[in-house]
Amino acid sequence: MARDSPSVITIPLDLIVEILEKLPTKSLARFRCVSYQWESIINSYIVIDSIVTRRSNQQPPRDPHFFLEKLLNQPQRGVHWRSFPKPSSILSYTYLYHQVTDEEQLYHEEIVGKCEGYLTSFQYVRGLIGFSCSSRNNAQFRIHNPTTRQSIFLPVTRLPGTLSYLFGYDPFKNQYKVLCLTSLNRRGQSSKLFILGDVSNEWWDIPCSIGSHSPFGEAVVIDGTIYYTARNTDWTDDFLVSFDVRHEMFNHIQTPEDLPLSTHRGDSTLVNYNGKLGCMCPNNFSLNTIDVDVWVMQDAEKQEWSKVTFSDMLQGLPKFDIRFAGVTNPGGEIVIVRNDYLSEFALDVYYYDPKHNGLRRAEIQTTTSLYRVRPSEKVIVIAVTDHVENIIRL
């Protein structure tokens, strides 16, 4: 009797896509290597420009993801700084994620085991993070993908002096770019640009049409534009600058006269406020107020601003020991964290809901190894309020 030939089971494409959509992103990144067909299905139906998309009915996490920088060998009061070893940093990444069973589980990854000095130029852009280490002259800029755990160092710029890096994304060409500016000096200022994935793997000289300036504070990337605050050559004026990532052009942003960009006038913070450039400004911060002004650039081309004041936002918070860490997207909650955390305090974070004028407190879930074990250590919290899963290959 002849043996029956085995039948081939064909799974409909829509069912395959539905199954793959339920898998963790790290599994999708591995499964793209199974075959050209698998890579085509994942890239065509689940991935858009390296970003893993999920169905709209999947609920986003209530709390953002967090990067935690543990600072070691911090100088102590009353002890001469020469008695301390050189400071160093440990960078880690932590968040709660939902499994297929809807249970929450803690994910924790150590990105930098030990870096001499402090981490600077830290930016999160569309699933990738970029940073450099402050203790090294002409320090290399590093890009890390938390989803795939890949990291690369960009080539040395060979520019003199202290360097400022700005990390951005061009949605039109699907390109990541890094801008490097030298510090202000007698020889003028140089600016270079690096395009991630470019075959030349080189820094390119670009002109700066707004003259020499020194960036400070945290930058924000919105719709292909990097926004950052800067000072002029004699440090007498602070202003807002935009850099068009696609066209590689600088521009001055006109701001209202009573918007306090300078740290001498207030503790302002640039944020992505529901897809528009926002500036969080505690109202008369030095007077220990609890009200906060939020300036929003309603029209980027016309540079038109509006202002809304949230009364009692900081009620009950240690106002001289906190900072704004961003605005959740989706959600629109304003994230407030401490300037730094010691072992005596839990890693607590606050969320202000502008719609309901409500404040809630949450505790960052992490491993006990992050807590301070010596008086010379502390932790700085960096919130990621617009997290996406990116499987780009670095």
Helix (H/G/I), strand (E/B), else coil: 362:
strand
Residue 93 in tokens? 């990444």
Helices (DSSP H) in the chain: which residue ranges? Answer: 13-21, 25-31, 36-45
Question: Over the stretch 54-105, which tens digit does the pLDDT of each residue have?
Answer: 765 555 555 678 888 887 765 555 544 454 556 667 788 777 655 544 556 6
DSSP symbols for 302-339:
TTEEEEEEETTTTTTS-GGGEEEEEE-TTT-PEEEEES
Q: In whole angstroms, what is the distance from residue 314 CA to residue 317 CA?
A: 5
Question: Over the stretch 216-226, which tens digit does the pLDDT of each residue have?
Answer: 888 999 999 99
pLDDT for 135 equals: 61
CB 152 within 8 A of CB 111: no
Cα distance from N-terminal residue to C-terminal residue, the chain:
57
Residues 319-343 have a mean pLDDT of 83
Model confidence at 139, in pLDDT bands (50, 70, 90)? confident
* pLDDT of 320 above 80: no
CA dihedral 159, 68, 124, 321 (to 10 degrees): -90
Q: In whole angstroms, what is the distance from residue 322 CA to residue 84 CA?
A: 27
DSSP symbols for 196-255:
TT-TT--EEE---TT---EEEEEEEEETTEEEEEEE-TTS--EEEEEEETTTTEEEEEP-
Lowest mean pLDDT among 90-104, 135-149, 310-324, 337-351: 90-104
Q: In whole angstroms, what is the distance from residue 337 CA to residue 350 CA?
A: 6
CB 119 within 8 A of CB 89: yes
pLDDT for 313 equals: 87
Please enumerate, as own/partner, the contacts of 130-133 that have beta carbons within 8 Å and a separation of 24 or more.
130/165, 130/167, 130/178, 131/91, 132/163, 132/165, 133/89
Query: How many CB atoms sit inside 10 A of residue 75's CB?
Result: 13
Question: Over the stretch 94-136, which tens digit does the pLDDT of each residue have?
Answer: 776 555 445 566 667 778 776 767 778 889 999 999 998 766 5
Q: In whole angstroms, what is the distance from residue 271 CA to residue 219 CA?
A: 8
CB 166 within 8 A of CB 181: yes
